[in-house]
A and B are shown apart, each in its own frame.
Chain A
Amino acid sequence: MRDKSGVEKISKLASLPLSEKEISLFGNQLSKIVGFVAALNRLDTNTVSPTYQVAGKVNEFREDKPSGGLSSKEALSNSPRTIGKYIVTKGVFNVK
């Protein structure tokens, strides 16, 4: 990712449009950050398991009981484009 095409690939994966200026700036800064976090390689973790949940919780279940939620009017209140009770999305199959 240190070069321009590497940064462009990540920006595409992240669906994050970047300007030419940002691409060169981030290429430089991200290389430094990657170098910084790589210090972790000094830590021997060969026999260590990863921890994803610090409180040790595994599953959390709740009763399957209907309860009140938002009205569709409330749920749609911040959508930029709606038709009736629907949100207008970008096309999926018509985008090259």
Chain B
Amino acid sequence: MLNSFLTIKDILAGYKRREFSSKEVFDLCYKNISKSEGRIGAFVTLLDREGLKLSRNSIPVGHKDIFSTKNIETTASSNILKGYKPPYDASTVKRLSDKNFVCIGKLNCDAFAHGATGENSDMKVTKNPYDLTRTPGGSSCGPAAAVASGFVLMATATDTGGSIRLPSSFTNTVGIKPTYGRVSRYGVIAMTSSTDSIGHITRTVWDNAYVLGITAGFDPKDATSSHREVDDYLDTIEQGILGLKVGVPREYLENIPANIKDRFYESIKLLEGLGAKVVDVSLPSTKYAINAYYIITPSEISSNLARFDGIRFGGTRNKFGGEAKRRIMMGTFSLSAGYYDEYYLKAQKARTLIIEDFKNAFEKVDVLVTPVSPILPPKLNSIIKDTLKTYMMDVLTVPVSIAGVPSLSVPGGFIDDEGKKLPFGIQLIGNYFNEKLLYRIGYALEQETRYYETTPAI
């Protein structure tokens, strides 16, 4: 009997033992979709069930609409790309389809991945499956909501300043932002080329590690991808965390509300109980990361979005949404003559200091642990009206992005608010290319808490 909320690990075992077929797994996902998608709104394109070519081992996946998918409309959830059908697949899409992941649709996001609530999408508003009046977080609102709702077993996503970790935190799912350059960016519509990281969202840590083993690795089509050999992310996952040094950076907890802080320290106690040694650490420059981020990001966006001229593909530039226009304007300003040194160059120097902070910290500890978000999932149509408040939602996730280190968001439990149980996430930050250790710690936590078993009532 198939449970409504499957994991990749379950179905790989089920396929092997011939307990059920891939047809049954896809039927179940489509059943969940027809039951709840009307209320959730995760997909911008849903493929016809009958048109899918399944093999015995197929696994249903959804791609964030920012990944190019051959002959399937790819809009980055923006009006300017309406009707655009890429003639090729992103490298990550290709690697996954070679390993039995079959795309069932494209998932909503903030247009061009600019946002923290999903509400900058030109297409639709995605709801949080744990409370339909709230945002599932952004920019990867569709991927997180689709995985949490049992529509797909895994969704690809991108994280430039928190766009995977934040929605994972808000939907009780697991999200990886790999080291910059670990996964190819080829075929993913570019936002901030120096921080864009390609990752994915799953229900469990094991599933997440399994998928990174497929997507990671050098790609000749992305000159910034790393030649470094890909680790086996699963072989030590069950090893436990006895003796590991866990750092809690005090600056990250300065402005966190008590309800989030209390639950966060429960996870820290749990890590201690599992044999880790908890150490107080300081990363003094990281508080400037949010300021540097909102210079670097719009600057690189203004350059990357210059290619949208309505001549080779897509519509004309007046079709950009408000947030894209705002970022193009800010970026053009900070790169313009007379301001470059004051803004962009200054931010890139700040980046050097932020990297040094992380390097110093990782000489003392194996991993840093923080909350993912300073707030609980906001109500829809609330925070989005205040641009700077929305930007501040990324305050705990952007230092990682600026430095390029890897980070894993794992469920940290639920917090009661207005009669609803709202998920919140724990961020595990590792040294460059040490995703393997993050999975080991995340897995140890997950085995104790099993929060993924608490599924939304949708």
Contact = CB atoms under 8 A, between A and B. Distances in A.
Interface of A: 1, 7, 10-11, 13-18, 22, 26, 29-30, 32-34, 36-43, 45, 48-55, 57, 60, 62, 70, 74-75, 77-81, 87-90
Q: Chain A interface mostly helix, strand, loop or mixed?
A: loop
B15 interface: no
Interface stretch (B41-49, B204-212, B288-296): B288-296
A48 B404 CA distance: 18
B387 A32 contact: yes
Contacts of A89: 311
Interface in B338-383: 343, 345-353, 355
Interface stretch (B6-14, B233-241, B321-329): B321-329
Contacts of A13: 332, 336
A51 B355 contact: yes
A70 B85 contact: no
Contact of B85 (A18, A54, A78): A78
Contact of A39 (B180, B291, B313): B291
B294 A37 contact: yes
B300 to A, nearest CB: 11
Nearest to A79: B312
Given A33-B294, A39-B291, A54-B180, A11 B350 contact: no
B87 A40 contact: no
A17 B318 contact: yes
Nearest to A55: B181
Contact of A14 (B179, B302, B310): B302
B226 interface: yes
Nearest to A12: B332
A26 B326 contact: yes
Interface in B381-414: 387-388, 391, 403-404
Given A32-B387, A78-B313, A7 B224 contact: no
Contacts of A1: 333
A10 B326 CA distance: 11
B326 A77 contact: no
B311 A51 contact: no
A51 B211 CA distance: 30
B220 interface: yes
23 contacts: A10-B329, A14-B329, A16-B317, A16-B325, A16-B328, A16-B332, A22-B322, A29-B387, A30-B329, A30-B330, A32-B388, A33-B387, A33-B388, A43-B353, A45-B353, A51-B351, A52-B194, A54-B403, A55-B181, A57-B224, A78-B84, A78-B86, A79-B313
B333 A40 contact: no
A92 B226 CA distance: 40
B87 A77 contact: yes
B314 interface: yes
B311 A80 contact: yes
